[in-house]
Structure 1
């Protein structure tokens, strides 16, 4: 199984629309590990790790977001796999 980690910066109307909670639920349903948090500049940042196909599915889900969200762009970069055991919502950075 090809395990990958991706760092995401999600831009648009993604705060105060339950975006982080939605990402946590989606990631947990896919069995992924990592974290998501708001950024002070209005973006949402995430680190997602797991099987390549499931990580790509989560990125596709992120483009949709919850109904009140509007995703303009998602910056995706490679990240280093780490020993994470769950998918968590972190404090704003």
Structure 2
């Protein structure tokens, strides 16, 4: 199984803590674009930030680590949950965006 798209991953995430009103989505958007990932980020009514990202496995893993330990300068990350992690054959998105 060595198609040209081998190694693409998709993962959903939810970040808990002080992650709203601290530019968390803006920094997430910028970091994902810098890594060449596609997907989205969004605030929830519960005070968390959720999203989905897709791209090369090593970049997705880097971003997962960033989401659970770095975030925006003013954020406080209590925990990050990752779910639905899977290999994909093609990207479902053209870019990374902030949803409202």
1:44 match: 49
Q: Post-superposition shift, 1:79?
A: 4.9
1:77 is displaced (CA, Å) by 0.7
Q: Which moved more, 1:38-47 or 1:73-82?
A: 73-82
Name the residue aligned to 1:90: 99
Asked whether 1:72 is paired with 2:81, we answer no
Which residue is 2:3 aligned to?
none
Q: Which runs of 5+ in 2 are unaligned?
A: 1-5
Which sections of structure 1, spanning at least 5 residues, go unmatched? none
Which deviates more from structure 2 when the two are superposed, residues 62-71 or residues 32-41? 62-71
Moved over 6 A (4+): none
> Whole-Å Cα distance in 2 between the matches of residues 66 and 21 of structure 1?
8
Partner of 2:17: 12
Separation in structure 1 between the aligned mates of residue 23 and residue 99 of structure 2, nearest angstrom: 14
Q: Deviations over 1:12-37 (max 9, x none)?
A: 00000000000000000000000000
Structure showing greater Rg: 2
Secondary structure of 2:32's counterpart equals helix
Comparing 73-82 with 59-68, greater Cα deviation is found at 73-82
Q: Which moved more, 1:6-15 or 1:76-85?
A: 76-85
- TM-score normalized with structure 2 length: 0.85
Alpha-carbon separation, structure 2, partners of 1:59 and 1:79: 11
Alpha-carbon distance, 1:83 to partner: 2.1
